[in-house]
Amino acid sequence: MTPPPPYQPGHALLADRTAVVTAAAGAGIGGATARRLLEEGARVVVGDAHARRLAECTAALTAEFGPERVAGLPCDVTDEAQVAALLDLAERRHGRLDVVVNNAGLGGTAELTEMTDAQWGKVLDVTLNGTFRCTRAALRRMKASGTGGVIVNNASVAGWRAQAGQAHYAAAKAGVMALTRCAAVEAAAYGVRVNAVSPSLAMHPHLVKVTTPGVLEELTAREAFGRPAEPWEVANVIVFLASGYSSYMTGEVVPVSSQHA
């Protein structure tokens, strides 16, 4: 197993930018992304459907980065009004909206023949429809502002790769990829870039709770480094896509993976 590299310091890549991150509470990719954006100089508004975890996350980030740079609001991405309220908060506090990271997603395991309509619909509504709602709301605001912006969606290698028991999740993530490409074409005329990351396996406590050890071992064995990604390693790529270093990239789905060919 190759150990993770040293944690990279910030380089002010997003100084004076305002960013929104959905599903940002906790120790997963969303939480790591919120922290990395702050370390790169951004002002960050975080949303999450779990109010208690969100309050804890917001309090911790505020204590470290200051109340003028951190705000949080409960947001269930299946509720269009809550999505609008989250983006409105960013504009109201900071007068602009530069970056939106659509991280919210929901998984689960069920064989297709045993999967209910409710199981299918719930995963699609959070993972794909939620990304659609947030992207639509962000594009409307960015288009009206005339100052451009960046949207980064969180897809998954599951959108490319077949895995038993994951038909709903894989279909949703493949949809996120297609949504990203189509939105990018429509948004380019307004100076808005839309890209996605496609992680293979990023280890965090919630994943451990919802995935069996056998599946995690199998997925880890596919990685060339012999280990899962740290959430902040995925967040680094999200920061890159949010920054000016990726200024000519739009409509791209960028794998964050060390998988064997």
> What pLDDT, on a 0 to 100 scale, did the predictor assign at position 214?
61
Phi-psi domain of 108 (left: phi exceeds 0; alpha: psi -120 through 50; beta: other) = left
| DSSP three-state, residue 147 | coil
> What pLDDT, on a 0 to 100 scale, did the predictor assign at position 101?
98
* Catalytic entry in 169, 190, 245, 248: 169
Q: Are 237 and 37 in contact (CB under 8 A)?
A: no
User: What's the mean pLDDT in 186-193?
Assistant: 98
Backbone angles phi, psi at 107, to 5 degrees: -110, -155
Q: Are 72 and 22 in contact (CB under 8 A)?
A: no
pLDDT at 213 over 80: no
Fold of 18-254: Rossmann fold (3.40.50)
Sequence-separated (6 or more) residues with CB below 8 Å from residue 240: 246
User: What's the mean pLDDT in 89-100?
Assistant: 97
Is 190 annotated in the active site?
no
Q: How far apart are CA 11 and CA 40, in angstroms?
A: 6
pTM of model > 0.85: yes
Which tens digits make up the pLDDT trace of 26-66? 989 999 999 999 999 999 999 999 999 999 999 999 999 99
What are the domain boundaries of the chain?
18-254
> What pLDDT, on a 0 to 100 scale, did the predictor assign at position 2?
82
Pairing of strands 70-74, 18-21: unpaired
Q: What is the pLDDT confidence band of residue 22, given thresholds at 50, 70 and 90?
A: very high
